[in-house]
Structure 1
Amino acid sequence: MTADQSDRTADVETAVDDELLPEIDEGRYLYCIVRANEGDSLETTGVDGEPVSVVTEDGIGAVVHACDGIYDSADLTQVRRWLVRHQTVVDEAGEAFGTPIPFQFDTILRGDDDGVREWLREEAATLEQALSALAGHWEYRVEVVETDPISDDALCDHDARLRELASKIDDAEEGTAYLLEKQFDQRLTELRAARRESVTTDLKRRLDEHAREVHTLERSPTASLADDVSKSAGGDGSDGETCCRLTLLAHEDDEGAIGSILDDVAANDGLEVRFTGPWPPYTFAPELGDNDEPTETHTHA
């Protein structure tokens, strides 16, 4: 990596901090890395309708398009269109070449195709290892939703402490009853949390037998491209209460076994399972380079 590349990265970090866009005379917008050979192509259009190409070096290809600036807009609808198009190109690259190593939206390498080839040579060892490790593996998202939550009465029937508190509340004076009701509500909260934890732990244990990695996600996610795509494919998540959200990295040959496990969970009354994928392994892709990495990313809030 050249000193000039390090300086360019620092310049971009400053520009983003100052809410200014860096000037790029010539650059390559990076979608993903794939296994590819000279002459391979991807017949699709990218962000803003730009023609996409595959720049290769020694069996490794970068899916790119030529650009002269960062993609930035105050129009959230426009940004969403860019994001979805970025995802579509990565998906199409995965279909054409196998599991890709995806980049974040708006990752740009300064320079022309020769600059891309130089970067591919510099990162060859890391890219080769990552492509080999991820070959045939995809990311899957799982959400378990309690569409018919267990009632307070049902929880009370199965918990001696709740029954005890309910009995005391009936016989207590107003002030004491208020404190006991707070304890009753706290116990309900604890039991519901324990139930969610039990569902999550059991599901992770079973999925671990067929997935290479399984990670728990926040039950109430912030908006993101991955969530937008998942919603369009597997429901909007608006009905019921989420018990757990998981993301897993699994080989495509294990998708059927994973689906069977999720069918078993969905067979439980009051539970619904939302399963989406396969997606490119965004969560599991390695970070390329180091602090001097010659790529520039502008993130939209």
Structure 2
Amino acid sequence: MNPILRERVLQEIRSLLDAYRPEIRRLVREAFVPELQRVIQDEIAGALAPEAPAPPVPSPVADAPAEPKPSSPEEALRDPGEPGEGRYVYAVIRGEAGPVLGPMGIDGREVRIIWEDGLGAVVHDCTAAPYESTDEETVKQWLFAHQGVIDRAWREFGGVIPLSFDTILAGGEAQGTDETVAAWLRDGRDDFLSMLDRFAGQAEYGVQVFWDAPAMMETLAQESESVRHMTAGLGDKPKGAAYLHRQKIEAMLKKELETKADHYFREFFKDIQGCVTEVKIEKTKKTEDPARQMIMNLACLLPEARSGELGRELERIQEMVWFSVTFTGPWPPYSFT
């Protein structure tokens, strides 16, 4: 490329990057942080899992933190200029006073509660700028701390609205930063109280159902009359035609497998739904083991006292041939805010 033209192109690219830097930063954070949170959740579940074979009835993994989910009343107020004083908000609780949570926040920051007419915001003091790092381990530690504060508030106050990582309220020019948080609580009061009423006495549990896809496909191949008929004629076909015929058989089996998975999903979902207060369908995750393919990933909200009822329903699924279940919780209601 001509050096002059190349320099002009680079200048144009730099100008575009400067103009859209905040948007690029936001998109990168949205893509990177949730995936990292999923990695952390899997690491915690793996660390807490017993080395011995799991019992027939899946038991919840106590205190395993779930990934924080975005909440509706949590839009952070950012200062477009130089970062001023801010408050990092972990959660909203109900009460009038409570214990000092202490230096357990991100980077060991002192965590306190700002109260406003029966509502409290669990915060630490910070600058009004996002937490950003290119070091994956640093971000993991931030996320662990974020979840740890929310778990502690949940245990102490019995109900909590978890906010997503990096929710920061910036102080306004006409009022102090604590007053900004108090005003935010006043403005969202009805929504906050409604959510706290909804979450009272409830906990979140995770349910993941897996099946042995290759074994299931082999069973379908043996049970399907059309597949057996097509397979029987393979030996009489030329090599090229036989290859195309096998591809057709595989496509047919894949379609039947998808139909079977949808059937089991609907059956299991209906039975699980009867054991819980609310249920949310999450995206399934890919696994390295084809014999353990996830076909269902649910977040369930229910009273802890009913977790045994849900466990018994999951035991029934666990005992089915080719199926296995992972059951985790209880957690604060991360998925339902």
Q: CA deviation at 1:52?
A: 0.5
* Contact 1:44/1:89 (8 A) holds in 2: no
* Contact 1:30/1:109 (8 A) holds in 2: yes
Relative to its length, the structure with more strand (as a share) is 1
**1:40-79: CA deviation from partner (whole Å, max 9, x where unpaired):** 4334510010010111112111110010132111111101
Return the letter of the residue paired with 2:223: H
Give the counterpart of 1:25 among 78, 84, 87.
Answer: 84
Gaps of 5+ in 1: 1-13, 222-236, 286-301
SS in 2 for 1:262: helix
Return the letter of the residue paired with 2:296: C
Structure having greater relative contact order (Cα 8 Å, sep ≥ 6): 1
Return the letter of the residue paired with 2:22: V
Q: CA deviation at 1:264?
A: 1.0
Task: Indicate the residue corresponding to 1:70 in structure 2.
Answer: 130
Give the counterpart of 1:131 among 166, 191, 196.
Answer: 196
Give the counterpart of 2:170 among 110, 118, 123.
Answer: 110
Gaps of 5+ in 2: 1-19, 27-77, 172-176
Return the letter of the residue paired with 1:62: A
Alpha-carbon spacing, 1:39–1:137, altered in 2? closer, same or farther (3 Å): closer
Alpha-carbon spacing, 1:199–1:43, altered in 2? closer, same or farther (3 Å): farther
Task: Indicate the residue corresponding to 2:48 in structure 1.
Answer: none
1:82-121 alignment to 2 at 5 Å?
A: 82-111=142-171, 112-121=177-186
Of the structure 1 ranges 144-153 and 261-270, higher mean CA displacement relative to structure 2 is found in 144-153
Alpha-carbon spacing, 1:256–1:88, altered in 2? closer, same or farther (3 Å): same
1:1-301 alignment to 2 at 5 Å?
A: 16-17=22-23, 19=25, 23-43=82-102, 45-68=104-127, 69-111=129-171, 112-147=177-212, 149-150=214-215, 152-220=217-285, 238-239=288-289, 240-285=292-337
Return the letter of the residue paired with 1:196: A
Q: CA deviation at 1:170?
A: 2.5
Task: Indicate the residue corresponding to 1:227 in structure 2.
Answer: none
Per the normalisation by structure 1, the TM-score is 0.78
Give the length in aligned residue pairs: 257
> How far apart, CA to CA, are the structure 2 residues paired with 1:163 and 1:80?
51
Return the letter of the residue paired with 1:32: A
**1:161-202: CA deviation from partner (whole Å, max 9, x where unpaired):** 111110122222233322221111011211222222222111
Return the letter of the residue paired with 1:249: L
Q: CA deviation at 1:153?
A: 4.0
> How far apart, CA to CA, are the structure 2 residues paired with 1:47 and 1:153?
50
Return the letter of the residue paired with 1:78: T
RMSD: 2.2
SS in 2 for 1:30: strand
Percent sequence identity is 33
SS in 1 for 2:220: helix
> How far apart, CA to CA, are the structure 2 residues paired with 1:98 and 1:283?
17
Q: CA deviation at 1:148?
A: 7.2
Return the letter of the residue paired with 1:258: L
Q: CA deviation at 1:126?
A: 1.0
SS in 1 for 2:245: helix
Q: CA deviation at 1:151?
A: 5.4
> How far apart, CA to CA, are the structure 2 residues paired with 1:19 and 1:153?
47
* Contact 1:29/1:107 (8 A) holds in 2: yes
Of the structure 1 ranges 33-42 and 18-27, higher mean CA displacement relative to structure 2 is found in 18-27
* Contact 1:36/1:59 (8 A) holds in 2: yes
Of the structure 1 ranges 168-177 and 15-24, higher mean CA displacement relative to structure 2 is found in 15-24
Q: CA deviation at 1:213?
A: 2.4
Per the normalisation by structure 2, the TM-score is 0.70
Q: CA deviation at 1:238?
A: 4.5
Task: Indicate the residue corresponding to 2:44 in structure 1.
Answer: none
